[in-house]
Amino acid sequence: MNLFDRFSAALPLDHFLSKYGTSAHRGRWKETFDAVRLTDDQRKLLGTFRREMNIMVLAGAWCGDCSGQCPIFDRFAEAATVIKVRYLDNADHADVQKELSINGGKRVPVIVFFSEDGYEVMRYGERTISKYRQMIRDLAGDSCPTGIGADPLLPQVTQDWLDEFERVQWLLRLSARLRQKHGD
């Protein structure tokens, strides 16, 4: 499956949430978006990004992990206009969900990073290492995080995601094919 073909069908965040989310869902995503505070160093780093990064996010508007993480990507895109983030609903795109399964399961969010010319660079999801470390410490048992309320891990999860975005940016900047194309 050529996943980049799906990128063109994917929606910007506001359209995705309008189409798939309830007002409660939209409220949770906005709460996280408003809570994401990039540090000066993070903004400075994002300001150095030069290669276009097309980011396709497989998500569910209802999903607590999505509402707690995906707004981070759109904050990154505000600081680096070369980042283009688009969303696909996991239920409406079951074939993409199957292609992006993790450990044999349907997981969201899963993001796929593409170069400007549609080559897949990397896949990553569903939670960052900081989140998994916290979950293993808590061993929450029957409870399940809902994404509701302020997440004390948000600054670290933001940094974890930024580390992945940075990795992809440097991979793109050092790509012989793209360096030849851009003359750098």
CATH code, 46: 3.40.30.10
The count of structural domains within the chain is 1
pTM: 0.91
Amino acid 104: pLDDT: 93
Domain of 96 in residue numbering reads as 4-182
Contacts of 57 (CB under 8 A, 6+ apart): 10, 66, 70, 73, 85, 86, 87, 88, 109, 110, 111
Q: How many whole angstroms separate alpha carbon 48 and alpha carbon 166?
A: 10
Residue 24, H or E segment:
helix 23-35
Tokens encoding 82 = 């070369």
The 10s digit of each residue's pLDDT in 6-27 is: 999 999 999 999 999 999 999 9
The 10s digit of each residue's pLDDT in 105-144 is: 999 999 999 999 999 999 999 999 999 989 888 875 555 5
